[in-house]
Structure 1
Amino acid sequence: MATDKKIVFITGGNTGLGFETVKALAASTSAYEIIIGCRTPSKGEEAIASLESQLPNTSSTFSVLQADLTSDSSLESAVRTLTSNFGRLDILINNGGASFDWLLAEGKLSLREAFNASWDTNVSGTHVLTTLAVPLLLKSSDPRVLFITSGTSSLGETERFDNPTHARINASPEKGWPKPNAGLALTSYRSAKTGLNMLAREWHRILLKDGVKVWAISPGFLATGLGGAGAERLKKMGAKDPSEGGKVVKAVVEGERDQDVGKVVRADGIQPW
Structure 2
Amino acid sequence: MGDRMVALVTGCAKGGIGHEYCKALAERNCRVFASDIPRRMKDMLELESSHGVEALELDVTSDESVVSAIEGIISKYGRIDVLINNAGIGSVGPLAELPLEAIRKAWEINTLGQLRLVQKVVPHMAARRSGNIVNVGSVVGTVPTPWGGSYCSSKAAVHAMTDALRLELRPFGINVIKVVPGAIRSNFGSATTEKLGAHGWSLYRPFAEAIAERGRASQGAKSTDAATFARHVVSKVLSPRPPRQIVFGHMTGLFAVLTWSPLWVRDLFFSNRFGLNRKL
TM bracket (short chain): 0.7 to 0.9
1:7–1:91 contact (8 Å) kept in structure 2: yes
Q: Cα gap change, 1:206/1:234 in structure 2, threshold over 3 Å: closer, same or farther? A: closer
Shift of 1:229: 3.5
Matched position secondary structure for 2:183: coil
2:183–2:219 contact (8 Å) kept in structure 1: no
Q: 2:61 aligns with which of 46, 55, 70?
A: 70
1:13–1:37 contact (8 Å) kept in structure 2: yes
2:44–2:55 contact (8 Å) kept in structure 1: no
Shift of 1:257: 6.1
Q: Superposed, which structure 2 residues align to 1:118-267 within 5 Å?
A: 118-140=106-128, 142-154=130-142, 157=143, 169=145, 185-227=147-189, 228-229=192-193, 234-236=218-220, 238-255=222-239, 258=242, 260-261=243-244, 264-267=245-248
Q: 1:47 aligns with which of 34, 44, 49?
A: 44
Q: What amino acid is the match of 1:78?
A: A
Paired with 2:7 and 2:184, the residues of 1 have a C-alpha distance of: 23
Q: Cα gap change, 1:97/1:89 in structure 2, threshold over 3 Å: closer, same or farther? A: same
Paired with 1:153 and 1:139, the residues of 2 have a C-alpha distance of: 32
Given the alignment of the two structures, is residue 117 of structure 1 paired with residue 117 of structure 2, yes or no? no
Percent identity among equivalent residues? Answer: 23
Q: Superposed, which structure 2 residues align to 1:3-42 within 5 Å?
A: 3-15=2-14, 16-28=16-28, 31-40=29-38
1:25–1:32 contact (8 Å) kept in structure 2: yes
Paired with 2:220 and 2:92, the residues of 1 have a C-alpha distance of: 20
Shift of 1:141: 6.2
Matched position secondary structure for 2:153: helix
Q: What amino acid is the match of 2:34?
A: I
Per-residue CA deviations over 1:172-197 (Å, capped at 9, x if unaligned) read xxxxxxxxxxxxx3111011000001
Q: What amino acid is the match of 1:121?
A: I
Structure 1, unpaired ranges of 5+: 56-60, 159-168, 171-184
Q: What amino acid is the match of 1:20?
A: E
Q: What amino acid is the match of 1:241?
A: D
Structure 2, unpaired ranges of 5+: 195-214, 261-280
Q: Cα gap change, 1:3/1:140 in structure 2, threshold over 3 Å: closer, same or farther? A: farther
Bigger helix share? 2
1:8–1:91 contact (8 Å) kept in structure 2: yes
Paired with 1:135 and 1:39, the residues of 2 have a C-alpha distance of: 24
Q: What amino acid is the match of 1:265?
A: I
Paired with 1:244 and 1:127, the residues of 2 have a C-alpha distance of: 27
2:84–2:135 contact (8 Å) kept in structure 1: yes
Paired with 1:18 and 1:198, the residues of 2 have a C-alpha distance of: 22
1:89–1:139 contact (8 Å) kept in structure 2: no
Q: What amino acid is the match of 2:166?
A: H
Q: What amino acid is the match of 2:3?
A: D
Paired with 1:232 and 1:119, the residues of 2 have a C-alpha distance of: 20
Matched position secondary structure for 1:229: helix
Q: What amino acid is the match of 2:44?
A: A
Q: 1:99 aligns with which of 74, 90, 93?
A: 90
Q: What amino acid is the match of 2:62?
A: S
2:48–2:55 contact (8 Å) kept in structure 1: no
- The 4+ residue runs of structure 1 with deviation greater than 3 A are 42-46, 50-53, 139-142, 229-238, 267-273
Per-residue CA deviations over 1:143-171 (Å, capped at 9, x if unaligned) read 100001111111xx45xxxxxxxxxx46x
Paired with 1:134 and 1:251, the residues of 2 have a C-alpha distance of: 22
